Structure 1
Amino acid sequence: MPSFLEISPDKLNRLIGTPGAPAIVDVRTEEDFALDPRLVPGSIRRTHADVTSWADSIDADAVVVVCQRGAKLSHGVAAYLRHAGIDAESLEGGFEAWIAGGLAVPEAKLPRRDAQGRTVWVTRSRPKIDRIACPWLIRRFVDPDAVFLFVPTSEVLAVGDRFEAVPFDIEGVFWSHRGELCTFDVMIEEFGLASAPLLHLARIVRAADTARLDLAPEASGLLAASLGLSRMYSDDLEQLEAGMLLYDAFYRWCRDATEETHNWPSPKKGA
């Protein structure tokens, strides 16, 4: 059982992917990281020795610190962060405990980060489904600070080249449709995020994005809501922010509420 200065892997797993998830900081040594160069979803790498120089840059209400075994490095960094006024906990058992039952993102799959430590992505403007679903997945499970550039279709590759942004959901690039799979499917597979709830959500996204609504009964609702948002917002980034809530809701339904039904009028007491 974790102490009041620790969080269990199970509890952290329930928070990851939700709007209220803590920032996750991986402080494993280079030697330990080389043994398994994967990351707890959504985490960033920092060195424990430099904690006093980067502690003030953490923009989060709560932080979970991860080291190899949940011992001196994570507890020491968490203590420094608490000294800086940040609510910080150590991951119980560290990365070794996490990988025993949790998802992990291969570091080699992550794009090069910019000077601010953010991944930068570029895609076609006027997003509908895949180009909202993919940024949601990235921000919730890969890089909470990811930057998304929406540009004319004809300029996606050139902007990617000039601004070192990774193109996605456009023909001829790595992060795009593959056969019957949409880009959201591909990202789940490549980032090692194949949990049951995300795979369920992926089927809904694929059905709505590829006009195969028979694949999932919920796809019609996602399509309708997505097209409605595209009519409500002329600014793609504002639409993305609104779409984040939509996908938060669909994810929580896939994870927690698929067995729940709703009827009206409600059954009378004692009936």
Structure 2
Amino acid sequence: MPNSVSVENLRELLASPAPPIVIDVRRQQAFADSPATIPGSLRRLPESVESWASELPTDGQIVVYCVHGHQVSQGVVSRLQQIGLRAAFLEGGIEHWKSHGGPVQHGGV
């Protein structure tokens, strides 16, 4: 199973001197239905992970999120780990983040 981070752990990581790269990998319709994102996150399509994974640094941590932290983000994390990146998914996805008071930004990434 892919590695995961809790909302609390992600908050700590984002406040650290070397924060992770955070990537929103919600499917297009899910993003259109609720376009709020975690501030500073990148937006990437999960089905094209092969095309954008090479843009990511190999020496930092990556945290991926989808709506609920299930198949979409876990599948992306599995693929990123297979190519040697330090990746984890956000437990509960952006919905859990929002329900626990995590900040969001509106207006696109």
User: How high is the TM-score relative to the length of structure 1?
Assistant: 0.38
User: How high is the TM-score relative to the length of structure 2?
Assistant: 0.89
Q: What aligned pairs does 1:196-235 form with structure 2 within 5 A after superposition?
A: none
Deviation at 1:53, TM superposition (A): 1.1
In 2: Cα distance, 1:37 partner to 1:56 partner:
25
Q: What aligned pairs does 1:247-266 form with structure 2 within 5 A after superposition?
A: none
In 2: Cα distance, 1:4 partner to 1:65 partner:
11
Structure 1 runs of 4+ off > 4 angstroms? none
Q: Deviations over 1:84-131 (max 9, x none)?
A: 1111001000011011120001134x6xxxxxxxxxxxxxxxxxxxxx
Deviation at 1:4, TM superposition (A): 6.9
In 2: Cα distance, 1:62 partner to 1:93 partner:
19
Larger Rg: 1
Q: Which residue of 2 aligns with 1:12?
A: 10
In 2: Cα distance, 1:16 partner to 1:58 partner:
17
In 1: Cα distance, 2:36 partner to 2:84 partner:
29
Alignment partner of 1:102 is 2:99 = no
Q: Deviations over 1:126-175 (max 9, x none)?
A: xxxxxxxxxxxxxxxxxxxxxxxxxxxxxxxxxxxxxxxxxxxxxxxxxx
**Bigger relative CO (Cα 8 Å, ≥ 6 apart):** 2
| Higher share of residues assigned helix | 1
User: SS at the partner of 1:107?
Assistant: coil
- Whether the 8 Å contact between 2:37 and 2:105 is mirrored in structure 1 is yes
Aligned length in residues: 107
Give the unaligned 5+ runs of structure 1.
Answer: 111-271
Give the unaligned 5+ runs of structure 2.
Answer: none
Query: What's the RMSD between the two structures over aligned residues?
Result: 1.7
Deviation at 1:19, TM superposition (A): 2.3
Identity percentage over the alignment?
36
Q: Which residue of 2 aligns with 1:69?
A: 68
Q: Which residue of 1 aligns with 2:80?
A: 81
User: SS at the partner of 2:51?
Assistant: helix
Deviation at 1:13, TM superposition (A): 1.0
- Whether the 8 Å contact between 1:15 and 1:22 is mirrored in structure 2 is yes
In 2: Cα distance, 1:15 partner to 1:107 partner:
24
